[in-house]
C-alpha cells in the first residue's frame, strides 16, 4: 500500500514538474496536473493539499538530487579541481535533461507567487566548492593566491549566470559548450600548471561518463 502511495506521489510530482517547467507556477492549474497525471483533483489534494505544497515538493526534490551527486563526485579518484569542473558539467546536464531539476529552478525564480517557504539556493553549492577549492590548493591544483570561499562564490555566480543565459538564448541546448567557454576563461586565473583546454578535457571524464552526443556549434564570441 505504501509503495502504491509513493508511486502516486511521484507520478503527481513529475506531472506537475512538466507543467511548471512549461507554463510556470501561475499558468499551471490543479485540473491541468490532474489531466496530465490521469488522477482526480481530489487525489492531488489528498497527497499534497494545495498547489503551493506541490510546488514546494518539486523544489525540495530539486534540491534533494544534489547531495548524492556531490558525494559521488567527491569520492571519485581525481584531483579536487577536476572534481569541480566535472561537477559543473554533471549539474549542467541535469538542468538541461532532468524535468524536476528544471521545474524546481523555474519555481524558485517565481517564488514570490508561491505562498509557502522554499529552501534557499546556492549556499550549499558555495560551501561545497569552497571545500573542494581548499583541497585543490593543498594539492597544488590551484595557485596559492586563490581564496576558497571568495572563489567559490564567484564560480557559483558564473555558473548560474551561464545557465541563465543558455536557458534564455538556446533553451539549454548549448549549455555544455557555453560552460566550456566559461572554464577556458576562468582556469588561467586559478592555476598556471596545465593549459585550460587540456584540464577541461581531463576533468570531464572524472566519472568515466560517456562522451555527450554532438550538439549545435556555439556561435563565435564577438570581438
pLDDT in tens, the chain (223 residues): 445 678 888 888 999 999 999 999 999 999 999 999 888 888 888 888 899 999 999 999 999 999 999 999 988 889 999 999 999 999 999 999 999 999 999 999 899 898 888 888 899 999 999 999 999 999 999 999 999 999 999 999 999 999 999 999 999 999 999 999 999 999 999 998 899 999 999 998 776 644 443 334 444 444 3
Q: So what's the pLDDT on residue 5?
A: 78
In which residue ranges of the chain is CATH 1.10.357.10 found? 62-203
Q: So what's the pLDDT on residue 219?
A: 42
In which residue ranges of the chain is CATH 1.10.10.60 found? 2-57
**Helix ranges, 171-203 (H):** 175-190, 196-203
Q: So what's the pLDDT on residue 186?
A: 96
Which contiguous run of DSSP H or E holds residue 5?
helix 2-23
CA atoms lying within 13 Å on the CB side of residue 81: 26
Joined together, the cell numbers standing for residue 196 give: 585550460
As assigned by CATH, the class of the 62-203 domain is: mainly alpha
Separation of alpha carbons 140 and 114, rounded Å: 45
Q: Say if residue 42 is exposed, middle or buried (CB neighbours under 10 Å; 0-12, 13-18, 19+).
A: exposed
Separation of alpha carbons 91 and 209, rounded Å: 13
Confidence (pTM) = 0.84
CATH architecture label of 2-57: Orthogonal Bundle (1.10)
Residues in CB range of 170: below 8 A, 6 or more apart: 216
Amino acid at each position: 500500500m505504501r509503495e502504491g502511495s509513493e508511486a502516486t506521489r511521484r507520478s503527481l510530482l513529475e506531472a506537475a514538474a512538466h507543467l511548471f517547467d512549461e507554463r510556470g507556477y501561475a499558468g499551471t492549474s490543479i485540473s491541468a496536473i490532474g489531466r496530465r497525471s490521469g488522477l482526480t483533483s481530489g487525489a492531488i489534494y489528498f497527497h499534497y493539499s494545495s498547489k503551493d505544497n506541490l510546488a514546494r515538493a518539486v523544489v525540495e526534490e530539486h534540491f534533494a538530487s544534489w547531495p548524492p551527486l556531490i558525494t559521488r563526485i567527491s569520492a571519485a579518484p581525481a584531483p579536487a579541481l577536476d572534481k569541480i569542473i566535472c561537477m559543473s558539467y554533471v549539474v549542467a546536464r541535469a538542468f538541461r535533461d532532468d524535468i524536476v531539476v528544471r521545474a524546481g529552478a523555474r519555481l524558485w525564480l517565481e517564488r514570490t507567487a508561491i505562498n509557502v517557504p522554499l529552501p534557499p539556493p546556492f549556499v550549499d553549492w558555495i560551501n561545497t566548492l569552497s571545500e573542494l577549492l581548499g583541497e585543490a590548493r593543498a594539492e597544488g591544483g590551484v595557485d596559492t593566491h586563490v581564496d576558497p570561499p571568495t572563489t567559490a562564490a564567484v564560480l557559483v555566480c558564473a555558473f548560474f549566470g551561464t545557465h541563465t543565459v543558455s536557458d534564455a538564448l538556446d533553451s539549454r541546448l548549448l549549455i555544455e559548450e557555453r560552460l566550456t567557454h566559461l572554464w577556458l576563461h576562468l582556469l588561467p586565473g586559478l592555476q598556471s600548471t596545465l593549459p585550460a583546454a587540456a584540464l577541461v578535457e581531463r576533468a570531464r571524464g572524472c566519472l568515466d561518463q560517456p562522451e555527450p552526443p554532438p550538439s549545435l556549434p556555439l556561435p563565435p564570441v564577438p570581438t
